[in-house]
Structure 1
């Protein structure tokens, strides 16, 4: 788990650095071109920077060990951060959509300038975002960290508006169609809203103690059913908090087993579950099987 925590923190730092660089580049590009599609991408990157900083703080806080006030640790901080991300993304999307509609309804949309410089900046932005998204996906799969998964989702969503901004700049220059800029910005806003809904739903479900992924539960059930000495099991319950999954499981054992033998069976199964699902926190109870009573 320590390796996973370090990996998550490094990924959070990488997100902050990439977002800061992109904000600087896009500020310059907006000043040079006046393109609303780049402004939409700039707003998205600015929010990326803000939420990535918040996510980094949440990741660090979530690694704090359990204490008297938080017996199950602090991993729910990841869900709170993810929910905040969803709100910020949704608000920015609405602002961008409103600006795009106003430009579309205007009698004469403002002309764009220096399209080549804008295209160069957006190309750099796409390449940096692709590299970051690939790395975040790798880390999210290894650690199950919900904040990194949410961070990856909205960086992935950045790719389409970035590509759209290039299309808008090309259309506004050689093709003389400045309205495309507003259309691309509006489409980007819609994508941001859809992404925010997905992030928010996942975080809300975790905060409401929704059960773990059915595939995880099925895998744990398969391990328990096949474990030597286990006559059966019941009350397999779970809840999620950030990247952690809390599991409660009742094993049915032979009533004639010694306490040490029963303990060894439970401890062995627990170690196997943790190896298969490192993001879990497992509590196993031992009950006497019906035929042993």
Structure 2
């Protein structure tokens, strides 16, 4: 039997915290040996990732709690709040990377590096670990729809890009004497990160503001209702999201001469069809006489 979506999301959070702490230790050793500013930037990025991953894991665990008397619709919005905070953190990281890149480009003399070979080896190990984690996170985000896991994956993409930039900078310093390569890659990485953070933030903000589900989801719900037998019509189809949950409310128009049991069966059938299409949804069907 497969792992539940809550446990799957939590496993991605635990993996992220473990990898972030391991990378921070490795990069600290590389920084001590090389004195590279790109390694220092990558170390700072990993430290931010560790804090963000711990926050994200706490949000995932809180959001997985069942509905209670004070939170009748569950705790899913905790994921949206965490994703919004992570997006802000990513934007700050992107700005810091861009600032550092520009500062180094305009500096009259680049700092000399040492032990580039050791630094390249450490950053290579970091890249492999980050790629493995990214693969797992993207799988979990696709299966669960968790915005926190998606935002955390972007954090580790932000860790991957400086890692590659650091390898390029160390290699350019050791073999080609081209210190500007790292700065150029840093500016590109900052732009990619800012774009991804904006996307994550927009999705989380829309959920917190009770914006309706995406157009494809709404079109699918309308199609299910329009072709459900026994309905004379329907109206007021409303949707909203909270974390990984989809909430659906619909009014259906039925023949007023039907018995209560018959009307209930038609409404229940519609609800189950919608749940088959969207297993994480909560669907409420209001029955009105036509």
Question: Shared topology, TM-score over 0.5?
Answer: yes
1:1-293 alignment, distance < 5 Å? 3-289=4-290
**2:175 aligned counterpart, secondary structure:** coil
Aligned-partner Cα distance in 2 for 1:2–1:183: 43
Render the CA deviation track for 1:151-201: whole Å, top value 9, x for unaligned. Answer: 122323433332222111111110012232333333333333222222222
Large movers: runs of 4+ above 6 Å? none
2:154 and 2:193 in contact (8 A); partners too: no
* Distance apart, 1:2 and its partner CA: 8.2
Q: 173-182 vs 240-249, which deviates more?
A: 173-182
1:93 and 1:189 in contact (8 A); partners too: yes
Aligned-partner Cα distance in 1 for 2:142–2:96: 33
Aligned-partner Cα distance in 2 for 1:232–1:137: 40
Render the CA deviation track for 1:51-90: whole Å, top value 9, x for unaligned. Answer: 1110110011111222232221111110110111012122
Tell me: CA distance 1:2–1:270, structure 2 relative to 1, closer, same or farther (3 Å).
farther
Aligned-partner Cα distance in 1 for 2:38–2:280: 40
Aligned-partner Cα distance in 2 for 1:108–1:133: 36
1:35 and 1:181 in contact (8 A); partners too: no
**1:282 aligned counterpart, secondary structure:** strand
* Distance apart, 1:108 and its partner CA: 1.3
Aligned-partner Cα distance in 1 for 2:56–2:42: 20
Aligned-partner Cα distance in 1 for 2:285–2:118: 61
1:37 and 1:184 in contact (8 A); partners too: no
Aligned-partner Cα distance in 1 for 2:3–2:72: 19
Query: When the two structures are superposed, what TM-score results if normalisation uses the length of structure 2?
Result: 0.93
Tell me: CA distance 1:16–1:117, structure 2 relative to 1, closer, same or farther (3 Å).
same
Q: Which runs of 5+ in 2 are unaligned?
A: none
* Distance apart, 1:20 and its partner CA: 1.3
2:147 and 2:200 in contact (8 A); partners too: no
Alignment RMSD (CA, Å) = 1.9
Query: When the two structures are superposed, what TM-score results if normalisation uses the length of structure 1?
Result: 0.92
Aligned-partner Cα distance in 1 for 2:223–2:75: 29
* Distance apart, 1:29 and its partner CA: 1.5
2:45 and 2:93 in contact (8 A); partners too: yes
Aligned-partner Cα distance in 1 for 2:31–2:94: 18
**2:198 aligned counterpart, secondary structure:** helix
Aligned-partner Cα distance in 1 for 2:33–2:267: 66
Aligned length: 289
**2:114 aligned counterpart, secondary structure:** coil
Aligned-partner Cα distance in 2 for 1:136–1:204: 22
